[in-house]
Amino acid sequence: MCGIVGYTGHDKAKDIIIDGLKKLEYRGYDSAGVALMEDGGIQVRKKAGGSGTGGIANLEKAVAKEKFRATTGIGHTRWATHGQPSDVNSHPHASYDGEIAIVHNGIIENYRELKDQLEKKYGIEFVSDTDSEVIAQLIRVLYDGDLEHAVRKAVKKMEGAYTFAAIAKGEPEKIVAYRKDTPLIAGIGKDCNFIASDMTALLQYIDDFYLIDNGEMVVETPDRIKILDPAGKEVTREPLKVTWNQEDAEKGGYSHFMLKEIHEQPKAVQETVSRRIGKDGKIVLDGIKLTLKDLKKFNKICIVACGTAYHAGLVGKYVIEQMARIPVEVDVASEFRYRDPFVDDKTLFIAISQSGETLDTLMSLREAKGKGARILSIVNVVGSSVARESDDVFYTWAGPEIAVASTKAYTTQLVCLYLLALYMADLKGTITREYYDEILSELKAMPARAKRVLKKADKIEEMAKLLYNRDQIFYIGRGIDSSLAYEGSLKLKEISYINSFAIAAGELKHGTIALMEPDTTVIALATQDRLFDKMYANVEEIKARHAHIVSIAKSGNKKIKKVSDDVITIPKCRDEVTPILSIIPLQLFAYYIARERGENIDKPRNLAKSVTVE
């Protein structure tokens, strides 16, 4: 959700922190701020975003002419939970006397109670509507010249999810940070040290970093990083190497991260597949230790995820059931957590998450773990919470995904699910070696085929120019295509704000067809040879209502042209693997529509990339 950056060293903290915040803007961009240790005091500057500008752009403008000498400071980019986006509700929050400043990611659930106590007992007047201000005021009243002690005492009184960093006027070169539920890393610089919500913020400054665990505190000065466990005991830990490079987190000539990430899909898919093929041409699942004995024990698989990752899970259900013949349930994490699911030690629980930090997914994982399930996760961010709490981890290796609308993470999640399904099916003997080889060679062919689909970008851009003013756009499909319909529709609504609805095509006649009229736009996914005649009939039904139809079909499909206003084709391939290709036109369509409408594509309103609150 929110992003935190801290720096203590010998260079100008303001520039380094603002630069780091820009890299974390995908975590939230309602507002941004910095607190700098300047001339024996703490200077706080913070700004809310306005229409068309994020908080960081406004902050940067506000401090452009200020020449701070500070070499220690903390910064924040916010996705508002308590208190609307405004200058005063932005972080950092300072204590009533300016002695302490903090930045916070998460929610302090008992903040009203703490606020009441601080108001009554100490007469503190709060200035913001946020829960986070409580942290600064609480640390202040507990502070006796030692920030580390004050933070330790303060966290004992807080409830909820709270990762925060604090600085104290009296200790000018020190940052104390604490992790509870939302991510935190400590970056190792040269004569300087950093803290950040994730390594994307620090790619140009560090090669190594420490992952901070839940309940741990980090105390940093320019020459030292001290990690303390919940009991206050110093922990020794091996640093991790940064695996992403700076260019991966930059736009590289593209107008938006989303467009860049769409175009990175051939490379990402290549990376995901090629790492998993052994010398004998068979799948090697690094990070997964599933044996035939394990598989025989599982009587079902629960796939749990949110947003785009959930849609990948829907495809996963088709392929795992079809290939490995194990029943699969797919749930959105926010529902799974509260439906008292039937999960036990015979369940394989698969969490899918790009960030590995989505709170609902993480909590569902814990729920399943508590009931004895084996936990496997498909995750992009190495060392993230979901990854660390899983028994087996399958990394997507998609590289950093910055745009809020997920693209390359989705395609690589699909590839992981295919590899997993094939691997399990092979172990169980539910498929032939020929079928195994065929699907594997389809997967290996995907990067080249995806490049061919990307070449249709101009055509899709033209289509978008024609359709960008529509009020609503429907997505329909059958079988595996219906899962794609959901993802295509989500892409469109999240970045273009066009009302969009996805439905299994066969279900149209049970209600939704009532909405079809001239001018209604329908994106029809018709890539499944097996179901083509049924799908064709559904498209004919809506054509009869004079809807405008754009179909996605396999190359060479002449029939679909008869009932479509436009057709985008994907290269011929087996029905099972079409999703890896057919999502690309849908992503491009959403992108170009949003661009025609002049929307803020990488940072759509009200959304954040990593949702670490319920």
Closest CA to 389 of 420, 364, 425: 364
Question: Residue 488 has which token pair?
Answer: 């295509």
Interatomic CA distance for residues 491 and 486, integer angstroms: 9
In the bound state with ligand G6P, the residue whose beta carbon lies nearer, of 90 and 355, is: 355
In the bound state with ligand G6P, the residue whose beta carbon lies nearer, of 34 and 381, is: 381
Q: For the chain, what percentages of helix, strand and coil (3-state, to nearest 5) are there? A: 40, 25, 35
Q: Where are the beta strands (DSSP E) in 334-471?
A: 347-353, 374-379, 392-395
Helices in 429-506 by DSSP H: which ranges? 433-454, 457-467, 480-496
SS (H, E, C) 579-596: HHHHHHHHHHHHHHHHHH
Active-site positions read: 2, 609
Residue 306 within binding range of ligand G6P, rule CB under 6 A:
yes
Which member of 43, 58, 358, 500 binds ligand G6P (CB under 6 A)?
358
Which member of 309, 446, 473, 524 binds ligand G6P (CB under 6 A)?
309
Strands 41-48 and 31-38, sheet pairing: antiparallel
In the bound state with ligand G6P, the residue whose beta carbon lies nearer, of 163 and 361, is: 361
In the bound state with ligand G6P, the residue whose beta carbon lies nearer, of 355 and 500, is: 355
Which member of 105, 354, 582, 612 binds ligand G6P (CB under 6 A)?
354
- Let me know the angle formed at the C-alpha of 326 by 322 and 328, rounded to the nearest 5 degrees: 90
CB of 547 to ligand G6P, least distance (A): 28
Tell me the number of residues near ligand G6P by CB under 6 A: 15
CB of 395 to ligand G6P, least distance (A): 13
Which member of 307, 316, 477, 579 binds ligand G6P (CB under 6 A)?
307
CB of 199 to ligand G6P, least distance (A): 15
For residues 543-570, one letter each, b for 16 or more C-beta atoms within 10 angstroms of the residue's C-beta and e for the rest, the string is beeebbbbbbbbeebeebeebbbbbbbb
Which member of 74, 611, 612, 613 binds ligand G6P (CB under 6 A)?
611
Which member of 353, 482, 496, 500 binds ligand G6P (CB under 6 A)?
353
In the bound state with ligand G6P, the residue whose beta carbon lies nearer, of 105 and 538, is: 105
Which member of 404, 464, 567, 570 binds ligand G6P (CB under 6 A)?
404
Residue 91 within binding range of ligand G6P, rule CB under 6 A:
no
In the bound state with ligand G6P, the residue whose beta carbon lies nearer, of 172 and 183, is: 183
For residue 85, is the peptide bond before it cis, meaning its omega torsion is within 30 degrees of 0?
Answer: no
Q: How many helices (H) and strands (E) does the chain have?
A: 19, 25
Closest residue to ligand G6P, based on beta-carbon distance: 307
Question: Residue 600 has which token pair?
Answer: 């803020």
Residue 601 within binding range of ligand G6P, rule CB under 6 A:
no
Residue 105 within binding range of ligand G6P, rule CB under 6 A:
no
Question: Residue 70 has which token pair?
Answer: 């500070």
Residue 515 within binding range of ligand G6P, rule CB under 6 A:
no
Which member of 71, 130, 355, 520 binds ligand G6P (CB under 6 A)?
355
In the numeric block, the tokens 């960081």 are attached to 56
In the numeric block, the tokens 């745009």 are attached to 403
Residue 157's contacts (CB-CB under 8 Å, 6 or more residues apart) are 110, 114, 138
In the bound state with ligand G6P, the residue whose beta carbon lies nearer, of 137 and 361, is: 361
* Whether 208 contacts 192, CB under 8 Å: no
The DSSP annotation for 319-338 comes to HHHHHH---EEEEEHHHHTT
Residue 609 within binding range of ligand G6P, rule CB under 6 A:
yes
Which member of 130, 193, 406, 496 binds ligand G6P (CB under 6 A)?
406
Residue 528 within binding range of ligand G6P, rule CB under 6 A:
no
In the bound state with ligand G6P, the residue whose beta carbon lies nearer, of 171 and 360, is: 360
> Which residues 488-507 are close enough to bind ligand G6P by CB under 6 A?
none
- Let me know the angle formed at the C-alpha of 412 by 459 and 591, rounded to the nearest 5 degrees: 30
Residue 308 within binding range of ligand G6P, rule CB under 6 A:
yes
CB of 354 to ligand G6P, least distance (A): 4
Residue 332 within binding range of ligand G6P, rule CB under 6 A:
no
Residue 399 within binding range of ligand G6P, rule CB under 6 A:
no
Residues that bind ligand G6P (CB under 6 A): 306-309, 353-355, 358, 361, 404, 406, 607, 609-611
